[in-house]
Amino acid sequence: MKQNQIWGSGLSPFFQPEDFLPSHPSVKEDLETEILVIGAGLSGLLCAYELLKEGRSVTVVTANTVGDGACRFSSGIISADGGPDLLRLKELIGQENAVGWYRFALAAVEQMEKIVADTGSKCDFKRRDQFYYTASRREGEILREEYYARHHLGLDCRWMSEEECREEFSFPCVGGMMMKDGGGEFNPVKFCRDLADWITLHGGEIYEGSRVDTIEACADGFVCRLSTKKITAKKVIDARGGEVLQKRPQLGQRVTVFSVVTEPISVFRGWKDCCLIKNHDELSYLRTTPDGRILYSGQVTSALTPEGRFGRWDANAVCRVKYKNLTAELEEMFFGIPRIKQEYGFTQGLVLPKKGLPYVGQDLQWQGLYYLYAFGESGMAGALLGSSWIRRMICDGRGNAPKYLSL
Ligand SMILES: Cc1cc2nc3c(=O)[nH]c(=O)nc-3n(C[C@H](O)[C@H](O)[C@H](O)COP(=O)(O)OP(=O)(O)OC[C@H]3O[C@@H](n4cnc5c(N)ncnc54)[C@H](O)[C@@H]3O)c2cc1C
């Protein structure tokens, strides 16, 4: 069993030991660039991709290696369904904005498809139907309301009664909605690495092992200081991911998510078309991988303490129990599948942003400093959409991203 239970590390079928090795140089001298992107996660790399397509000159610097941040623990699911429901969003940001965001988020799957085709990425991207269900009678009513709201928007979704669910899935569902082509799955680390290759091939520069300590405004842009060197840039995009929470804790709340990946399975029974599955009753997601495994994330708890404990509990002991619970849940849900065995187990902190949406915009104080913090369960959609907003802001001078996404 491959499991590494230390906070912030761990292997998955997507992230292997060789991915820890840098494939780009570190910053060894002072540099000057037109646009500096800080952070080579999905957000930063997508910004670089979008800007290079517009003929801009771009440098990316990242603290460790490409794709070693949140994406290495991610389930690799793109979906409008990751964040809050449409009805909840209406309460948070109003009807018009909620509908606007939802339409954007649905477009993220299409955008991903286009970028994969354009870059030739071998990240196993595949569109999938998405099943969003509940096992609780009380929640069934709420989910049904959500279904009506989406249906009203003209989304291609179908309500499935308890009986219909029983025919297609082996686990208990009171009801659920099936979104046709509502999401996509891919290997997020491979996608980051392929994007990085595309970026260097198209004139962008990438530096690994190069942490930016400070960003200061200067006469013609910004000076970003690393431990011994500095980079001067006309514009800076801050895509540092969850690390910004150290300075801005008000942006979100850290929780811990546990994931298991099974050994390959020969026949999937009780799982319609290996669609993406989201449970409405708890934060949990299920998908399959191209080599026939189940990836199951859930069992959310509070964040680990700086001492590496969950409250009074030792992290390793908690991880062991959580992985066991997840595997037992899988066995119960898919009792028709013989021999479900865990092969990987990994644990990571997930930042849940306040409204469940990414933060994207331009700094109010410093013109030319942009931010893209694509936190949360729908962070990938946030990274895709946020990067194209940043491209529009920089290249077309189109003001700012929607106000409800600003810091
Ligand atoms: C367990 C888990 C499961 C998830 N599942 C999904 C999912 O299925 N679908 C989905 O849409 N989203 C999911 N997410 C969220 C998703 O992974 C992220 O939103 C997405 O990867 C975007 O990340 P990012 O690029 O903004 O940040 P990151 O991937 O964290 O990248 C930030 C990068 O910046 C670097 N950096 C930080 N500080 C500095 C500095 N000072 N100088 C230089 N570099 C710096 C970091 O080293 C890192 O490489 C999940 C997240 C977790 C933790």
What are 188-224's pLDDT values in tens digits?
999 999 999 999 999 999 999 999 999 999 999 999 9
Q: Tell me which DSSP letter residue 169 carries.
A: B
Q: Of 48-57, 61-70, 316-325, 358-367, which gets the smallest average pLDDT?
A: 316-325
* Residue whose CA is at the smallest distance from ligand 1 atom 16: 379
Strand, helix or coil for residue 71: helix
**Range 112-138 average pLDDT:** 96
Q: Phi/psi class of residue 120: alpha, beta or left (left: φ > 0; alpha: ψ in -120 to 50)?
A: left
Residue showing tokens 């099974």: 262
* Residue whose CA is at the smallest distance from ligand 1 atom 53: 350
Q: Which atom of ligand 1 is the closest one to the Cα of 381? A: 11
Whole-number Å distance, alpha carbon 336 to ligand 1 midpoint, is 35
- CA-to-CA distance for 46 and 391, rounded, in angstroms? 10
Q: Exposed, middle or buried by CB within 10 Å (0-12, 13-18, 19+), for 214?
A: exposed
Q: What contacts 311, CB < 8 A, 6 or more positions away? A: 302, 305
The pLDDT of residue 32 is above 70: yes
Binding pocket residue ranges, ligand 1, CB within 6 Å: 38-44, 61-64, 68-71, 73-78, 82, 211-212, 239-243, 257, 285, 297, 348, 350, 374-375, 377-381, 383
- CA-to-CA distance for 316 and 342, rounded, in angstroms? 16
**Range 294-314 average pLDDT:** 81
Whole-number Å distance, alpha carbon 379 to ligand 1 midpoint, is 8
pLDDT at 301: 84
Q: Are 98 and 136 contacting, i.e. CB atoms less than 8 angstroms apart? A: no
- CA-to-CA distance for 160 and 373, rounded, in angstroms? 35
The pLDDT of residue 4 is above 60: no
pLDDT at 325: 95
- Under the banding of pLDDT at 50, 70 and 90, the label for residue 5 is very low
The pLDDT of residue 306 is above 80: no
The pLDDT of residue 160 is above 60: yes
- CA-to-CA distance for 244 and 238, rounded, in angstroms? 9
User: Does domain 126-182+252-352 fall into CATH 3.30.9.10?
Assistant: yes
Q: What contacts 264, CB < 8 A, 6 or more positions away? A: 291, 292, 293
Mutational test site, ligand 1, from 73, 288, 377, 405, max ligand atoms within 8 Å of CB? 377
Q: Pick the residue with more confidence: 46 or 105?
A: 46
Q: Pick the residue with more confidence: 10 or 12?
A: 12
pLDDT digit string, tens, across residues 87-102: 999 999 999 999 888 8
The pLDDT of residue 7 is above 70: no
